[in-house]
Amino acid sequence: MAYNDLRDWLQALERAGELKRIKAEVDPILEVAEITDRVSKAGTRHGIKTLQPGGPALLFENVKGQPGARILINQFGSEARMKRALEVDNLADVADRIQQLMNVKSPEGLLEKIKMLPMLADLGKFFPKTVASGPCKEVIKKGDQVNLLDFPILQCWPQDGGRFITLPCVITRDPRTGKRNVGMYRMQVYDAKTTGMHWQRQKVAAEHYRELMRRGAAAGAENAVSAGVDIMARSLGGSTLAEGSRPSGRMDVAVAIGTDPALTFSAIVPAPPDVEEFIIAGFLRQKPVELVKCETVDLEVPANAEIIFEGYVQLDELRPEGPFGDHTGFYTPVDDYPVFHVTCITHRKDPIYATTIVGKPPMEDAYMGKAVERIFLPLMRLTMPEIVDVNLPVEGVFHNLMIVSIKKSYPGHARKVMNGIWSLGQAMFTKCVIVVDEDVDVQDIAEVVLKVSNNIDPERDVQFMLGPIDSLDHASRQPNFGSKMGIDATRKWKTEGFDRSWPDEITMSGDVKKRVDAVWKSLGID
Ligand SMILES: Cc1cc2nc3c(=O)[nH]c(=O)nc-3n(C[C@H](O)[C@H](O)[C@H](O)COP(=O)(O)O)c2cc1C
Ligand SMILES: [Mn+2]
Protein backbone atom coordinates (compact mmCIF):
# COMPACT_ATOMS: atom_id res chain seq x y z
CA MET A 1 0.00 0.00 0.00
CA ALA A 2 1.36 3.37 -1.01
CA TYR A 3 2.48 5.75 1.71
CA ASN A 4 -0.06 8.56 1.89
CA ASP A 5 2.43 11.15 2.99
CA LEU A 6 5.67 11.74 4.85
CA ARG A 7 4.06 10.94 8.22
CA ASP A 8 2.74 7.61 6.99
CA TRP A 9 6.27 6.82 5.78
CA LEU A 10 7.78 7.89 9.11
CA GLN A 11 5.40 5.57 10.95
CA ALA A 12 6.49 2.70 8.73
CA LEU A 13 10.14 3.54 9.43
CA GLU A 14 9.50 3.71 13.15
CA ARG A 15 7.67 0.36 13.19
CA ALA A 16 10.62 -1.16 11.36
CA GLY A 17 13.10 0.28 13.88
CA GLU A 18 14.55 2.48 11.13
CA LEU A 19 13.83 5.87 12.71
CA LYS A 20 15.72 7.45 15.57
CA ARG A 21 14.10 10.38 17.38
CA ILE A 22 16.64 12.80 18.83
CA LYS A 23 15.39 14.74 21.85
CA ALA A 24 18.64 16.48 22.73
CA GLU A 25 19.00 20.06 21.51
CA VAL A 26 20.91 20.23 18.23
CA ASP A 27 21.89 23.25 16.14
CA PRO A 28 20.79 23.27 12.48
CA ILE A 29 24.00 25.19 11.82
CA LEU A 30 26.63 22.46 11.20
CA GLU A 31 25.68 20.17 14.12
CA VAL A 32 22.89 18.27 12.35
CA ALA A 33 25.32 17.75 9.47
CA GLU A 34 28.11 16.41 11.68
CA ILE A 35 25.77 13.98 13.42
CA THR A 36 24.23 12.83 10.13
CA ASP A 37 27.64 12.44 8.51
CA ARG A 38 28.77 10.10 11.30
CA VAL A 39 25.56 8.08 10.97
CA SER A 40 25.84 7.92 7.16
CA LYS A 41 29.39 6.61 7.39
CA ALA A 42 28.30 3.73 9.65
CA GLY A 43 29.44 0.41 8.31
CA THR A 44 32.39 1.96 6.45
CA ARG A 45 36.05 1.89 7.46
CA HIS A 46 35.87 5.05 9.56
CA GLY A 47 32.27 4.76 10.68
CA ILE A 48 30.35 3.74 13.78
CA LYS A 49 30.69 -0.01 14.21
CA THR A 50 27.44 -0.61 16.13
CA LEU A 51 25.10 0.64 13.40
CA GLN A 52 23.98 -0.95 10.14
CA PRO A 53 25.51 0.65 7.00
CA GLY A 54 23.89 4.06 6.51
CA GLY A 55 22.41 4.03 10.01
CA PRO A 56 18.78 4.97 10.78
CA ALA A 57 16.70 7.90 9.57
CA LEU A 58 16.99 10.76 12.07
CA LEU A 59 14.19 12.97 13.38
CA PHE A 60 15.57 15.94 15.31
CA GLU A 61 12.80 17.06 17.67
CA ASN A 62 14.63 19.76 19.60
CA VAL A 63 16.16 22.25 17.20
CA LYS A 64 18.27 25.02 18.69
CA GLY A 65 16.67 28.43 18.26
CA GLN A 66 13.54 26.98 16.66
CA PRO A 67 11.07 25.75 19.30
CA GLY A 68 8.63 23.13 17.99
CA ALA A 69 10.53 22.59 14.74
CA ARG A 70 11.42 19.09 13.56
CA ILE A 71 14.06 18.03 11.05
CA LEU A 72 13.96 14.73 9.17
CA ILE A 73 17.19 13.58 7.55
CA ASN A 74 18.63 10.34 6.13
CA GLN A 75 15.18 8.96 5.25
CA PHE A 76 16.63 7.27 2.12
CA GLY A 77 20.03 6.58 3.65
CA SER A 78 20.35 2.80 3.43
CA GLU A 79 19.65 0.15 0.84
CA ALA A 80 16.94 -1.31 3.06
CA ARG A 81 15.20 2.07 3.44
CA MET A 82 15.45 2.83 -0.25
CA LYS A 83 13.68 -0.47 -0.99
CA ARG A 84 11.11 0.23 1.71
CA ALA A 85 10.53 3.71 0.25
CA LEU A 86 9.67 2.17 -3.10
CA GLU A 87 7.87 -0.77 -1.43
CA VAL A 88 9.90 -3.50 -3.13
CA ASP A 89 11.98 -6.41 -1.85
CA ASN A 90 14.50 -5.79 -4.54
CA LEU A 91 15.19 -2.67 -6.61
CA ALA A 92 15.28 -4.90 -9.68
CA ASP A 93 11.52 -5.40 -9.10
CA VAL A 94 10.93 -1.80 -10.17
CA ALA A 95 13.11 -2.38 -13.22
CA ASP A 96 11.07 -5.51 -13.98
CA ARG A 97 7.84 -3.53 -13.83
CA ILE A 98 9.26 -1.02 -16.30
CA GLN A 99 10.46 -3.87 -18.47
CA GLN A 100 6.97 -5.40 -18.53
CA LEU A 101 5.49 -2.10 -19.64
CA MET A 102 8.03 -1.79 -22.42
CA ASN A 103 7.63 -5.37 -23.56
CA VAL A 104 4.03 -4.82 -24.52
CA LYS A 105 3.39 -6.20 -27.97
CA SER A 106 0.23 -5.74 -29.99
CA PRO A 107 -2.32 -8.24 -28.73
CA GLU A 108 -3.44 -10.92 -31.14
CA GLY A 109 -7.01 -12.03 -30.64
CA LEU A 110 -9.52 -11.39 -27.91
CA LEU A 111 -7.83 -13.51 -25.27
CA GLU A 112 -4.58 -11.54 -25.43
CA LYS A 113 -6.55 -8.31 -25.33
CA ILE A 114 -8.40 -9.44 -22.20
CA LYS A 115 -5.11 -10.44 -20.60
CA MET A 116 -3.88 -6.88 -21.10
CA LEU A 117 -6.80 -5.29 -19.29
CA PRO A 118 -5.35 -5.43 -15.76
CA MET A 119 -2.20 -3.75 -17.01
CA LEU A 120 -4.18 -1.03 -18.74
CA ALA A 121 -6.15 -0.51 -15.53
CA ASP A 122 -2.82 -0.21 -13.71
CA LEU A 123 -1.79 2.53 -16.11
CA GLY A 124 -4.68 4.64 -14.86
CA LYS A 125 -3.11 4.67 -11.40
CA PHE A 126 -0.07 6.51 -12.61
CA PHE A 127 -1.70 9.79 -13.56
CA PRO A 128 -1.92 12.56 -10.99
CA LYS A 129 -5.31 13.86 -9.98
CA THR A 130 -6.21 17.34 -8.87
CA VAL A 131 -8.12 17.56 -5.61
CA ALA A 132 -9.85 20.56 -4.00
CA SER A 133 -7.62 20.86 -0.95
CA GLY A 134 -5.16 18.98 1.17
CA PRO A 135 -3.09 19.03 4.35
CA CYS A 136 -0.44 21.23 2.77
CA LYS A 137 -3.00 24.07 3.03
CA GLU A 138 -3.56 23.83 6.78
CA VAL A 139 -1.65 27.08 7.27
CA ILE A 140 -1.43 29.73 4.54
CA LYS A 141 0.92 32.68 4.80
CA LYS A 142 1.22 35.51 2.30
CA GLY A 143 2.80 38.96 2.15
CA ASP A 144 4.51 40.01 5.36
CA GLN A 145 3.86 36.64 6.94
CA VAL A 146 6.18 34.90 4.47
CA ASN A 147 9.33 33.95 6.35
CA LEU A 148 11.66 31.18 5.24
CA LEU A 149 13.57 31.57 8.48
CA ASP A 150 10.59 30.00 10.29
CA PHE A 151 11.98 26.66 9.09
CA PRO A 152 15.02 24.88 10.52
CA ILE A 153 17.10 25.12 7.36
CA LEU A 154 20.60 23.69 7.66
CA GLN A 155 24.01 25.07 7.12
CA CYS A 156 25.79 21.88 6.16
CA TRP A 157 29.53 22.67 6.00
CA PRO A 158 31.80 25.36 7.44
CA GLN A 159 32.57 27.12 4.15
CA ASP A 160 28.99 26.99 2.81
CA GLY A 161 27.61 30.35 1.68
CA GLY A 162 24.80 30.08 4.21
CA ARG A 163 21.76 27.92 4.85
CA PHE A 164 20.62 25.67 2.00
CA ILE A 165 17.32 23.89 1.34
CA THR A 166 18.68 20.55 0.19
CA LEU A 167 15.70 18.25 -0.46
CA PRO A 168 13.24 20.44 -2.38
CA CYS A 169 10.93 19.16 -5.10
CA VAL A 170 11.01 22.10 -7.50
CA ILE A 171 7.97 22.28 -9.77
CA THR A 172 7.93 24.25 -13.03
CA ARG A 173 5.84 24.20 -16.18
CA ASP A 174 7.12 23.80 -19.74
CA PRO A 175 5.87 26.90 -21.57
CA ARG A 176 5.64 24.91 -24.82
CA THR A 177 3.77 21.80 -23.71
CA GLY A 178 2.22 22.80 -20.39
CA LYS A 179 3.78 19.69 -18.83
CA ARG A 180 5.09 19.96 -15.31
CA ASN A 181 8.55 19.03 -14.19
CA VAL A 182 9.71 18.13 -10.72
CA GLY A 183 13.45 18.41 -10.14
CA MET A 184 15.56 18.53 -7.04
CA TYR A 185 17.67 21.67 -7.15
CA ARG A 186 19.18 23.08 -3.97
CA MET A 187 18.16 26.54 -2.77
CA GLN A 188 20.46 28.88 -0.86
CA VAL A 189 18.51 31.03 1.59
CA TYR A 190 19.40 34.70 1.01
CA ASP A 191 16.79 36.20 3.36
CA ALA A 192 13.24 35.65 4.62
CA LYS A 193 11.72 35.78 1.14
CA THR A 194 14.41 34.91 -1.40
CA THR A 195 16.62 31.95 -2.24
CA GLY A 196 18.95 30.86 -4.99
CA MET A 197 17.65 28.38 -7.55
CA HIS A 198 20.47 26.04 -8.45
CA TRP A 199 19.08 24.34 -11.52
CA GLN A 200 22.12 23.47 -13.56
CA ARG A 201 21.99 24.57 -17.19
CA GLN A 202 21.41 21.09 -18.59
CA LYS A 203 18.44 20.34 -16.32
CA VAL A 204 14.80 20.51 -17.32
CA ALA A 205 13.73 23.56 -15.29
CA ALA A 206 16.69 25.49 -16.76
CA GLU A 207 15.30 24.75 -20.21
CA HIS A 208 11.83 25.99 -19.15
CA TYR A 209 13.56 29.16 -17.96
CA ARG A 210 15.49 29.57 -21.21
CA GLU A 211 12.33 29.06 -23.25
CA LEU A 212 10.64 31.89 -21.34
CA MET A 213 13.73 34.03 -21.95
CA ARG A 214 13.57 33.32 -25.67
CA ARG A 215 9.92 34.31 -25.69
CA GLY A 216 10.61 37.45 -23.70
CA ALA A 217 13.44 38.38 -26.00
CA ALA A 218 11.36 37.68 -29.09
CA ALA A 219 8.59 39.91 -27.76
CA GLY A 220 10.79 42.71 -26.43
CA ALA A 221 14.08 43.18 -28.20
CA GLU A 222 14.68 44.46 -31.71
CA ASN A 223 17.16 41.82 -32.60
CA ALA A 224 15.20 39.12 -30.91
CA VAL A 225 17.27 36.10 -31.70
CA SER A 226 20.70 37.44 -30.88
CA ALA A 227 19.40 39.17 -27.76
CA GLY A 228 17.86 35.92 -26.60
CA VAL A 229 21.06 34.05 -27.17
CA ASP A 230 23.04 36.71 -25.36
CA ILE A 231 20.79 36.66 -22.32
CA MET A 232 21.04 32.93 -22.19
CA ALA A 233 24.80 33.11 -22.37
CA ARG A 234 24.80 35.55 -19.49
CA SER A 235 22.36 33.54 -17.48
CA LEU A 236 24.73 30.65 -17.85
CA GLY A 237 27.69 32.61 -16.63
CA GLY A 238 28.87 33.55 -20.12
CA SER A 239 28.98 36.88 -21.92
CA THR A 240 27.15 39.94 -20.65
CA LEU A 241 24.12 41.46 -22.24
CA ALA A 242 23.67 45.11 -22.98
CA GLU A 243 21.69 46.71 -20.18
CA GLY A 244 18.10 47.43 -21.06
CA SER A 245 17.67 44.61 -23.54
CA ARG A 246 17.05 41.80 -21.08
CA PRO A 247 13.59 40.33 -21.16
CA SER A 248 11.73 41.01 -18.00
CA GLY A 249 9.07 38.70 -16.75
CA ARG A 250 8.47 35.98 -14.27
CA MET A 251 8.56 32.26 -14.24
CA ASP A 252 6.21 30.58 -11.79
CA VAL A 253 7.94 28.12 -9.48
CA ALA A 254 6.61 26.05 -6.59
CA VAL A 255 8.59 23.94 -4.16
CA ALA A 256 7.34 21.00 -2.13
CA ILE A 257 9.22 19.76 0.93
CA GLY A 258 8.38 16.58 2.80
CA THR A 259 6.19 14.44 0.54
CA ASP A 260 5.61 10.70 0.41
CA PRO A 261 8.96 9.06 -0.41
CA ALA A 262 8.15 8.02 -4.00
CA LEU A 263 7.44 11.61 -5.00
CA THR A 264 10.58 13.02 -3.41
CA PHE A 265 12.59 10.27 -5.07
CA SER A 266 10.99 11.00 -8.46
CA ALA A 267 12.45 14.53 -8.29
CA ILE A 268 15.96 13.13 -8.66
CA VAL A 269 15.37 10.54 -11.38
CA PRO A 270 16.88 11.53 -14.72
CA ALA A 271 13.59 11.13 -16.56
CA PRO A 272 13.25 12.16 -20.20
CA PRO A 273 12.38 15.87 -20.19
CA ASP A 274 8.84 15.33 -21.42
CA VAL A 275 7.87 12.75 -18.82
CA GLU A 276 6.15 14.30 -15.81
CA GLU A 277 7.69 13.13 -12.54
CA PHE A 278 4.17 13.12 -11.05
CA ILE A 279 3.47 10.17 -13.37
CA ILE A 280 6.73 8.47 -12.39
CA ALA A 281 5.79 8.85 -8.72
CA GLY A 282 2.34 7.41 -9.50
CA PHE A 283 4.00 4.46 -11.22
CA LEU A 284 6.40 3.91 -8.33
CA ARG A 285 3.76 4.08 -5.60
CA GLN A 286 0.99 2.49 -7.72
CA LYS A 287 -1.37 5.21 -6.66
CA PRO A 288 -2.05 8.63 -8.19
CA VAL A 289 -0.28 11.65 -6.78
CA GLU A 290 -2.89 14.11 -5.49
CA LEU A 291 -2.30 17.71 -6.48
CA VAL A 292 -3.81 20.99 -5.31
CA LYS A 293 -3.69 24.37 -6.99
CA CYS A 294 -1.28 26.97 -5.66
CA GLU A 295 -2.56 30.16 -4.05
CA THR A 296 -0.45 32.68 -5.93
CA VAL A 297 1.03 30.95 -9.00
CA ASP A 298 -0.31 28.86 -11.87
CA LEU A 299 1.04 25.50 -10.70
CA GLU A 300 -0.17 22.46 -8.84
CA VAL A 301 1.62 20.98 -5.86
CA PRO A 302 1.38 17.68 -3.98
CA ALA A 303 -1.53 17.94 -1.55
CA ASN A 304 0.22 15.73 1.00
CA ALA A 305 3.38 17.86 1.34
CA GLU A 306 4.55 19.18 4.68
CA ILE A 307 5.61 22.55 3.29
CA ILE A 308 5.03 24.44 0.02
CA PHE A 309 6.87 27.54 -1.15
CA GLU A 310 5.17 29.37 -4.00
CA GLY A 311 6.83 32.11 -5.95
CA TYR A 312 8.64 33.15 -9.07
CA VAL A 313 12.02 33.47 -10.68
CA GLN A 314 12.56 36.88 -12.22
CA LEU A 315 13.93 36.34 -15.72
CA ASP A 316 16.37 39.23 -15.66
CA GLU A 317 17.93 38.45 -12.30
CA LEU A 318 20.95 36.37 -11.37
CA ARG A 319 22.83 36.29 -8.10
CA PRO A 320 25.96 34.59 -6.82
CA GLU A 321 25.16 31.19 -5.32
CA GLY A 322 27.45 29.10 -3.14
CA PRO A 323 29.96 28.00 -2.12
CA PHE A 324 28.38 24.70 -1.17
CA GLY A 325 29.97 21.51 0.17
CA ASP A 326 28.85 19.18 -2.58
CA HIS A 327 28.41 15.48 -3.16
CA THR A 328 31.78 15.33 -4.89
CA GLY A 329 33.40 15.75 -1.48
CA PHE A 330 34.60 19.24 -2.45
CA TYR A 331 33.10 22.71 -2.26
CA THR A 332 31.44 23.92 -5.45
CA PRO A 333 32.54 27.56 -5.90
CA VAL A 334 30.29 30.58 -6.25
CA ASP A 335 28.49 30.94 -9.58
CA ASP A 336 25.54 33.00 -10.85
CA TYR A 337 22.12 31.39 -10.67
CA PRO A 338 18.51 32.59 -10.83
CA VAL A 339 16.78 33.90 -7.73
CA PHE A 340 13.52 32.51 -6.31
CA HIS A 341 11.12 35.01 -4.71
CA VAL A 342 8.62 33.47 -2.32
CA THR A 343 5.10 34.90 -2.57
CA CYS A 344 3.29 32.43 -0.34
CA ILE A 345 4.08 29.64 2.08
CA THR A 346 1.54 26.97 2.88
CA HIS A 347 2.19 24.16 5.31
CA ARG A 348 0.76 21.60 7.68
CA LYS A 349 0.34 22.39 11.30
CA ASP A 350 3.64 21.52 13.00
CA PRO A 351 5.39 20.80 9.70
CA ILE A 352 8.28 18.37 9.50
CA TYR A 353 11.17 19.86 7.58
CA ALA A 354 12.73 17.15 5.38
CA THR A 355 16.31 17.63 4.30
CA THR A 356 19.58 15.89 3.49
CA ILE A 357 23.27 16.65 3.43
CA VAL A 358 25.75 15.84 0.72
CA GLY A 359 29.51 15.57 1.13
CA LYS A 360 32.17 12.90 0.95
CA PRO A 361 30.46 9.62 0.02
CA PRO A 362 28.79 7.53 1.21
CA MET A 363 25.87 9.69 2.22
CA GLU A 364 22.13 9.53 1.81
CA ASP A 365 22.30 10.39 -1.89
CA ALA A 366 24.50 7.34 -2.52
CA TYR A 367 21.50 5.08 -1.92
CA MET A 368 19.24 7.26 -4.03
CA GLY A 369 21.77 7.15 -6.85
CA LYS A 370 22.12 3.38 -6.63
CA ALA A 371 18.34 3.03 -6.89
CA VAL A 372 18.42 5.17 -10.03
CA GLU A 373 21.18 2.94 -11.43
CA ARG A 374 19.05 -0.19 -10.94
CA ILE A 375 15.78 1.33 -12.15
CA PHE A 376 17.30 2.88 -15.25
CA LEU A 377 19.10 -0.22 -16.48
CA PRO A 378 16.10 -1.42 -18.56
CA LEU A 379 15.70 2.07 -19.98
CA MET A 380 19.36 2.11 -21.03
CA ARG A 381 18.83 -1.29 -22.60
CA LEU A 382 15.94 0.10 -24.61
CA THR A 383 18.38 2.03 -26.80
CA MET A 384 21.43 -0.16 -26.11
CA PRO A 385 20.21 -3.77 -25.75
CA GLU A 386 23.83 -4.97 -25.73
CA ILE A 387 24.27 -3.60 -22.19
CA VAL A 388 24.41 -6.43 -19.65
CA ASP A 389 25.01 -4.53 -16.41
CA VAL A 390 26.13 -1.14 -15.14
CA ASN A 391 27.94 0.00 -12.01
CA LEU A 392 28.31 3.60 -10.93
CA PRO A 393 30.59 3.20 -7.90
CA VAL A 394 29.51 5.50 -5.10
CA GLU A 395 32.99 7.06 -4.87
CA GLY A 396 32.66 8.01 -8.55
CA VAL A 397 29.85 10.34 -7.35
CA PHE A 398 27.66 9.18 -10.22
CA HIS A 399 29.02 11.44 -12.93
CA ASN A 400 32.71 10.56 -12.68
CA LEU A 401 32.73 6.83 -13.37
CA MET A 402 30.50 4.26 -15.06
CA ILE A 403 31.53 0.65 -15.58
CA VAL A 404 29.41 -1.12 -18.16
CA SER A 405 29.47 -4.69 -19.42
CA ILE A 406 28.29 -5.47 -22.93
CA LYS A 407 27.62 -8.39 -25.20
CA LYS A 408 30.16 -7.43 -27.84
CA SER A 409 28.97 -8.28 -31.34
CA TYR A 410 30.98 -6.24 -33.82
CA PRO A 411 34.25 -4.35 -34.15
CA GLY A 412 34.22 -1.00 -32.37
CA HIS A 413 31.20 -2.01 -30.33
CA ALA A 414 32.65 -0.72 -27.03
CA ARG A 415 33.15 2.75 -28.57
CA LYS A 416 29.60 2.76 -29.85
CA VAL A 417 28.42 2.12 -26.30
CA MET A 418 30.59 4.95 -24.91
CA ASN A 419 29.09 7.35 -27.42
CA GLY A 420 25.63 6.06 -26.58
CA ILE A 421 26.20 6.76 -22.88
CA TRP A 422 27.55 10.25 -23.58
CA SER A 423 24.37 10.92 -25.57
CA LEU A 424 21.91 9.49 -23.07
CA GLY A 425 20.23 12.15 -20.93
CA GLN A 426 22.18 12.95 -17.78
CA ALA A 427 24.62 10.11 -18.52
CA MET A 428 26.17 12.75 -20.79
CA PHE A 429 28.09 13.94 -17.73
CA THR A 430 29.95 10.64 -17.27
CA LYS A 431 33.61 11.62 -17.10
CA CYS A 432 34.97 8.10 -17.42
CA VAL A 433 33.21 5.15 -19.04
CA ILE A 434 34.82 1.73 -18.77
CA VAL A 435 33.45 -0.92 -21.12
CA VAL A 436 34.07 -4.59 -20.39
CA ASP A 437 32.87 -7.88 -21.86
CA GLU A 438 29.77 -9.58 -20.51
CA ASP A 439 31.76 -12.15 -18.51
CA VAL A 440 33.08 -9.42 -16.19
CA ASP A 441 30.95 -8.79 -13.10
CA VAL A 442 30.91 -4.99 -13.01
CA GLN A 443 29.69 -5.02 -9.40
CA ASP A 444 32.96 -6.71 -8.37
CA ILE A 445 35.53 -3.90 -8.42
CA ALA A 446 38.41 -6.33 -7.77
CA GLU A 447 37.49 -8.28 -10.90
CA VAL A 448 37.07 -5.05 -12.87
CA VAL A 449 40.54 -3.81 -11.89
CA LEU A 450 42.11 -7.16 -12.75
CA LYS A 451 40.45 -7.48 -16.14
CA VAL A 452 40.58 -3.84 -17.20
CA SER A 453 44.21 -3.27 -16.38
CA ASN A 454 45.19 -6.56 -18.02
CA ASN A 455 43.13 -6.04 -21.14
CA ILE A 456 44.12 -2.60 -22.27
CA ASP A 457 46.83 -1.15 -24.43
CA PRO A 458 46.24 2.35 -23.12
CA GLU A 459 47.17 4.33 -26.18
CA ARG A 460 45.01 2.15 -28.38
CA ASP A 461 42.06 1.63 -26.04
CA VAL A 462 41.47 5.02 -24.49
CA GLN A 463 39.03 7.30 -26.28
CA PHE A 464 38.84 10.99 -25.43
CA MET A 465 35.79 13.07 -26.13
CA LEU A 466 34.88 16.70 -25.56
CA GLY A 467 31.47 17.73 -24.32
CA PRO A 468 29.30 19.05 -21.53
CA ILE A 469 30.63 18.46 -18.03
CA ASP A 470 28.74 18.47 -14.75
CA SER A 471 28.67 21.93 -13.16
CA LEU A 472 30.15 20.39 -10.01
CA ASP A 473 33.35 19.28 -11.75
CA HIS A 474 36.29 21.36 -10.54
CA ALA A 475 38.97 19.92 -12.81
CA SER A 476 37.61 20.51 -16.31
CA ARG A 477 39.37 23.14 -18.43
CA GLN A 478 36.32 25.36 -18.21
CA PRO A 479 33.22 25.22 -16.05
CA ASN A 480 30.64 22.95 -17.69
CA PHE A 481 32.85 22.02 -20.66
CA GLY A 482 35.68 19.56 -20.88
CA SER A 483 36.84 16.11 -21.81
CA LYS A 484 35.63 12.62 -21.04
CA MET A 485 37.47 9.35 -21.29
CA GLY A 486 36.27 5.98 -22.44
CA ILE A 487 38.30 2.83 -21.82
CA ASP A 488 37.63 -0.07 -24.14
CA ALA A 489 38.62 -2.99 -21.90
CA THR A 490 36.87 -5.61 -23.99
CA ARG A 491 38.77 -8.50 -25.51
CA LYS A 492 40.24 -7.23 -28.79
CA TRP A 493 39.31 -8.90 -32.05
CA LYS A 494 41.21 -9.58 -35.26
CA THR A 495 38.67 -7.40 -37.03
CA GLU A 496 39.76 -4.57 -34.75
CA GLY A 497 43.34 -4.99 -35.93
CA PHE A 498 44.49 -7.21 -33.06
CA ASP A 499 46.74 -9.84 -34.63
CA ARG A 500 48.06 -11.55 -31.52
CA SER A 501 46.16 -14.40 -29.91
CA TRP A 502 44.19 -13.60 -26.75
CA PRO A 503 45.16 -15.85 -23.85
CA ASP A 504 42.74 -18.01 -21.89
CA GLU A 505 41.94 -17.14 -18.32
CA ILE A 506 43.29 -19.45 -15.67
CA THR A 507 40.76 -21.84 -14.16
CA MET A 508 41.31 -25.28 -12.61
CA SER A 509 39.81 -28.25 -14.42
CA GLY A 510 36.53 -29.57 -13.06
CA ASP A 511 37.69 -33.12 -12.27
CA VAL A 512 40.59 -31.87 -10.15
CA LYS A 513 38.25 -29.57 -8.25
CA LYS A 514 35.94 -32.51 -7.54
CA ARG A 515 38.82 -34.67 -6.32
CA VAL A 516 40.03 -31.94 -3.99
CA ASP A 517 36.48 -31.30 -2.75
CA ALA A 518 36.22 -34.97 -1.84
CA VAL A 519 39.40 -34.99 0.26
CA TRP A 520 39.23 -31.37 1.53
CA LYS A 521 38.11 -32.13 5.08
CA SER A 522 40.81 -34.75 5.54
CA LEU A 523 43.47 -32.13 4.80
CA GLY A 524 42.68 -30.41 8.11
CA ILE A 525 43.35 -26.91 6.72
CA ASP A 526 40.15 -25.30 8.02
C1 LIG B 1 20.21 15.67 -2.70
C2 LIG B 1 20.30 16.08 -4.13
C3 LIG B 1 20.56 17.41 -4.46
C4 LIG B 1 20.63 17.81 -5.78
N5 LIG B 1 20.91 19.12 -6.07
C6 LIG B 1 20.93 19.55 -7.35
C7 LIG B 1 21.16 20.90 -7.65
O8 LIG B 1 21.35 21.74 -6.79
N9 LIG B 1 21.13 21.29 -8.96
C10 LIG B 1 20.90 20.40 -9.97
O11 LIG B 1 20.85 20.80 -11.12
N12 LIG B 1 20.71 19.08 -9.71
C13 LIG B 1 20.71 18.64 -8.42
N14 LIG B 1 20.51 17.31 -8.15
C15 LIG B 1 20.32 16.37 -9.25
C16 LIG B 1 18.95 16.52 -9.88
O17 LIG B 1 17.95 16.41 -8.91
C18 LIG B 1 18.73 15.47 -10.95
O19 LIG B 1 19.65 15.71 -11.98
C20 LIG B 1 17.32 15.45 -11.52
O21 LIG B 1 17.21 14.41 -12.46
C22 LIG B 1 16.94 16.74 -12.15
O23 LIG B 1 15.61 16.67 -12.64
P24 LIG B 1 15.25 17.12 -14.12
O25 LIG B 1 15.82 16.07 -15.04
O26 LIG B 1 13.76 17.12 -14.12
O27 LIG B 1 15.85 18.46 -14.33
C28 LIG B 1 20.43 16.88 -6.82
C29 LIG B 1 20.17 15.55 -6.49
C30 LIG B 1 20.10 15.14 -5.17
C31 LIG B 1 19.82 13.71 -4.85
MN1 LIG C 1 12.39 15.99 -15.25
Q: Enumerate the β-bridge partners of residue 187.
A: 165
End-to-end CA distance of the chain: 48
Cis check: omega of the bond before 458, within 30 degrees of 0: no
Ligand 2 centroid to residue 335 C-alpha, Å: 23
- Tell me if 184 CB under 6 Å of ligand 1: yes
Q: Read off the pTM.
A: 0.94
User: Minimal CA–CA distance to 383: which of 160, 40, 102, 101?
Assistant: 102
- Tell me if 266 CB under 6 Å of ligand 1: no
Cis check: omega of the bond before 323, within 30 degrees of 0: yes
What integer pLDDT is reported at residue 317 of this predicted model?
97
The CA–CA distances, whole Å, from 27 to 70, 161, 166, 393, 518 equal 12, 17, 16, 32, 63
Ligand 1 centroid to residue 495 C-alpha, Å: 42
Query: In this predicted model, what pLDDT tens digit does every residue of 470-499 receive, in sequence order?
Result: 999 999 999 999 999 999 999 999 999 999
326 is catalytic: yes
Does pLDDT of 221 surpass 50?
Answer: yes
* Residue 507, C-beta contacts closer than 8 angstroms, at least 6 positions apart: none
Query: Any idea what the Cα angle at residue 171 is, between residues 428 and 318, rounded to 5°?
Result: 75
Cα–Cα distance measured from residue 198 to residue 420, given in angstroms and rounded to the nearest whole number: 27
Report DSSP letters for 146-157, one per residue: --GGGS-PBB-S
Across the range 333-355, mean pLDDT stands at 98
Quickly state the pLDDT bin for 220 (edges 50, 70, 90): low
Encode 211-239 in three state secondary structure: HHHHHHHHHHCCCHHHHHHHHHHHHCCCC
Report DSSP letters for 57-119, one per residue: EEEE-SBTT-TT-EEEE-TT-SHHHHHHHTT-SSHHHHHHHHHHHHT-----HHHHHHHHHHH
Quickly state the pLDDT bin for 224 (edges 50, 70, 90): very low
- Tell me if 208 CB under 6 Å of ligand 1: no
Judged on CB neighbours under 10 Å (0-12, 13-18, 19+), 142 is: middle
What integer pLDDT is reported at residue 232 of this predicted model?
52
Ligand 1 centroid to residue 158 C-alpha, Å: 22
User: What stretch of H or E contains 302?
Assistant: strand 300-302
Across the range 214-238, mean pLDDT stands at 58
The closest-lying atom of ligand 1 relative to the alpha carbon of residue 203 is 27
Across the range 133-160, mean pLDDT stands at 98
- Tell me if 183 CB under 6 Å of ligand 1: yes
Tally of residues, the chain: 526
- What is the rounded average pLDDT for all residues in the chain? 93
What integer pLDDT is reported at residue 240 of this predicted model?
39
Quickly state the pLDDT bin for 117 (edges 50, 70, 90): confident
What integer pLDDT is reported at residue 90 of this predicted model?
95
What integer pLDDT is reported at residue 101 of this predicted model?
81
Catalytic residue among 5, 160, 326, 473: 326
What integer pLDDT is reported at residue 241 of this predicted model?
40
Query: In this predicted model, what pLDDT tens digit does every residue of 267-283 receive, in sequence order?
Result: 999 999 999 999 999 99
Query: In this predicted model, what pLDDT tens digit does every residue of 497-511 receive, in sequence order?
Result: 999 999 999 999 999
The CA–CA distances, whole Å, from 483 to 423, 469, 480 equal 14, 8, 10
Cα–Cα distance measured from residue 363 to residue 78, given in angstroms and rounded to the nearest whole number: 9
Ligand 2 centroid to residue 282 C-alpha, Å: 14
- Tell me if 358 CB under 6 Å of ligand 1: yes
Across the range 19-36, mean pLDDT stands at 98
Query: In this predicted model, what pLDDT tens digit does every residue of 372-423 receive, in sequence order?
Result: 999 999 999 999 999 999 999 999 999 999 999 999 999 999 999 999 999 9
DSSP state letter for 493: -
Judged on CB neighbours under 10 Å (0-12, 13-18, 19+), 410 is: exposed
